[in-house]
Amino acid sequence: MRPTYIGRSHGCIIVFDITSRKSFTGAGYDYDEVMRTHDDEKFPVIFVGNKCDLEHEREVEKEEAQNYANSLGCTYIETSALARINVDEALHALLHEIPQTTEREMIPKEEKHAHCCLM
């Protein structure tokens, strides 16, 4: 991930493949990089275990991933992009966790002008 993109973001979804232990480990490194860039402990991160439709190939147990996300103060959701399971829920979870104040910070303050009326 590029720090430039991370630095401008208001939240992050980190996706790993539940059928790949290596992918899960990589998600931990991605989390560390995000938090180095955003040293705000309240920065919203959602961990997503993808390919939940391939249960028979699972290498990362749901409980393990859930416990890891919880230990970091993150939400964990399992999805399947292929089967369209919980994809919207993952996005909604991130949107829910982005503080309402973020929206207000992004709106530029109106510049004060002399009072003028056009008719």
All domains in the chain, ordered by first residue: 3-100 (3.40.50.300)
Asked if the model's pLDDT at residue 115 lies above 50, the reply is no
Q: What is the pTM of this model?
A: 0.79
Question: So what's the pLDDT on residue 118?
Answer: 40
Closest CA relative to residue 24, chosen from 53, 51, 49: 49
Residues 76, 82, 87, 88: what is their CA dihedral angle, to the nearest 10 degrees? -170
Mean pLDDT of 86-91: 96
pLDDT one-digit tens code per residue, 27-81:
999 999 998 887 777 889 999 999 999 999 999 999 999 999 999 999 999 999 9
Give the model's confidence band at 119: pLDDT under 50 very low, under 70 low, under 90 confident, else very high: very low
- Pair 17, 23: CB distance under 8 Å: yes
Give the lowest-confidence range in 11-15, 88-92, 98-102.
98-102
Asked if the model's pLDDT at residue 8 lies above 70, the reply is yes
